[in-house]
Amino acid sequence: MISLKRFCTDHLRGACYTDARTRQKHSTDMSIYSIVPAAVVEPADADDVSRLLQFCSQERIPVTARAGASNTGGSAIGEGVVLLPIAQPSDAADVRLQDCGDELLASAPAGLRHDRLQSMLNQRGFHLPSDPSSGPLSYIGANVATRASGAHALRHGAIDRYLDSLVVLLADGTRIDTAEPQTIPTRIRTGLSTIADGLSADRDALERLRAGQQRKTASGYNLTALLEAPGPDLTALFAGSAGTLGIIEAVRLRCPTAPADQSLLVLSFDSEAEACDAVSAVRRSDPAACEILNRFCVQLLADQGITFAVSAGSMLVVEYSADSPGAAAETAHNAADRLYGNTCARTAIAISDPRQQAAFWKVRKRMMLQLRNRSDGRSALSVVNDIGVPVDSLAPFLEALTPIFSKRAIPLPIYGHAADGNLHLRPLFDTHDPSLADVVRAVADETYELVLSLGGTITAEHGMGRLRAPYLRREWGDSLYETMREIKDLFDPSGILNHDAMFYEGDLMRHFGRNQ
């Protein structure tokens, strides 16, 4: 049997690294796990990827696509081949922007960084509304694979709303273009239709699926894509698939005109509960975004020089946007008057200065890194960092959540997208605690049990991975879980593509601790 190294040397134009240093460098992402791969492959082009996948399928060698490694769930690491993005000679040369009136059709390689594409769009007056905080690190293909969204999903939704089509390499090396039906293998088309028929006939599963899809979620496969007319929507199915169905080669996105005006409204409260109670009223004011920050995070803002971060038990920072200059500022001022009078807000401050707004978003998007890189022996390990609950359950959720951490004396910074019910919990674990693995496991079990008891989701926007896979069946139930397994087997019969990122049901802590 030919070795992986020999195959790469003989058949690929790109590089294959098997030295200890390179393998160790690619053994971690931003999750709590570490897995040293057998090899790291940097392909020269898509043909390299196709040939590698064909070989790995035949030899049953696991393949994990890795982009910016900003994933917090452990989906950018693996035991076999870690596949890096195709090297791009020039960002600008590899992106095609087609003017379609009130939107741009952007065709980009999957290995283009999110912020680079965003900058190119902004220069022409357009934007990609999906704006994850990891934009400087993440790649556009990985944004699709995790169904990324960000703070503005409240108004604009996740990245799949803007997907036009994808070019994908399947596990056997076959290249498909979801805009060209003739490129889709017959077995995939007929198999998806059969799975869709079975799903349509399962009334209980359909009811659970439709209830779940009412919330913001990036959990499991997007099964509603199977129910589209006139047939399954393959483009939408790949969104959120975490590299388990194929390797994304290129992305086509429909990008709308950027708003002409933005303004912030800052509401302060004595408690998290009062802030949560105000979220429904905020939603009625038609905001583009609504961030919640508890007392710990408000202090972080103040420490970073955000002048409006007054001492408070909690804060809502609401953004309004408009297509005409000055309109958002007027909306924010009007909302300030209404919300100050109709909620328990202690203060309501409208911020129209673009510099102050930019300063807030810069600090807010760096909050995760600030909490991870501390000097006091504690770190915000990514454990329960992306949960979602119904908006009207926010206050009960936080009330029930507090004892999980207080009984263990674990500080709990909380921030996130309140009007979507999407919270980022950043418990500060004692990394020197000899029982750390047991503490993390217990915290995860208790928190996810609480989330699911309220009809919530294990991941609202960061996507799947080894951290969340053990809870996927519990969220969706046996029938939908098995439907997802059928899809995986159809696309990847050899099971080589990042399998544990979606369907791992073993010990949550199996790969924990080696990088702590």
Tally of domains within the chain: 2
Q: What is each CA distance from 219 to 481, 499, 509, in whole angstroms?
A: 11, 15, 20
Q: Assign 501 a pLDDT band (cuts: 50, 70, 90).
A: very high
Question: Half-sphere exposure (CA, 13 Å, Cβ side) for 219?
Answer: 32
Q: Are 241 and 339 within one domain?
A: no
Q: Are 248 and 278 within one domain?
A: no
Q: Are 249 and 124 within one domain?
A: yes
Q: Which domain holds residue 349?
A: 261-365
Q: Are 325 and 191 within one domain?
A: no
- Residue 279 inside a domain? The answer is yes
For residue 144, pLDDT beyond 70 = yes
CA dist 482 and 503 (Å) reads: 10
Q: What is the CATH number of the domain that holds 108?
A: 3.30.465.10
Q: Is residue 4 a contact partner of residue 61, using CB atoms and an 8 Å limit?
A: yes
- Residue 39 inside a domain? The answer is no
How long is the chain? 516
User: Each residue of 75-121: pLDDT tens digit?
Assistant: 999 999 999 998 765 566 789 999 998 999 999 999 999 999 999 99
Q: Are 243 and 333 within one domain?
A: no
For residue 472, pLDDT beyond 70 = yes
Q: Tell me which DSSP letter residue 381 carries.
A: -
At how many degrees (to 10) do helices 436-453 and 472-491 cross?
A: 90
- Model's pTM, two decimal places? 0.95
Q: Is residue 268 a contact partner of residue 336, using CB atoms and an 8 Å limit?
A: no
Q: Are 109 and 135 within one domain?
A: yes
Q: Is residue 291 a contact partner of residue 320, using CB atoms and an 8 Å limit?
A: no
Beta strand ranges found along 215-365 (DSSP E): 247-256, 261-269, 289-294, 314-322, 347-351
Q: Is residue 422 a contact partner of residue 216, using CB atoms and an 8 Å limit?
A: yes
User: Each residue of 393-441: pLDDT tens digit?
Assistant: 999 999 999 999 999 999 999 999 999 999 999 999 999 999 999 999 9
For residue 471, pLDDT beyond 60 = yes
Q: Are 271 and 320 within one domain?
A: yes
User: Each residue of 266-312: pLDDT tens digit?
Assistant: 999 999 999 999 999 999 999 999 999 999 999 999 999 998 888 88
Q: Are 207 and 351 within one domain?
A: no
Q: Are 235 and 281 within one domain?
A: no
For residue 515, pLDDT beyond 50 = no
CA dist 512 and 436 (Å) reads: 10
Q: Are 115 and 247 within one domain?
A: yes
φ and ψ of 484, to 5 deg:
-60, -40
Q: What is the CATH number of the domain that holds 340?
A: 3.30.70.2190
Q: Are 178 and 277 within one domain?
A: no
* 92 exposure class (CB count in 10 Å sphere: 0-12, 13-18, 19+): exposed
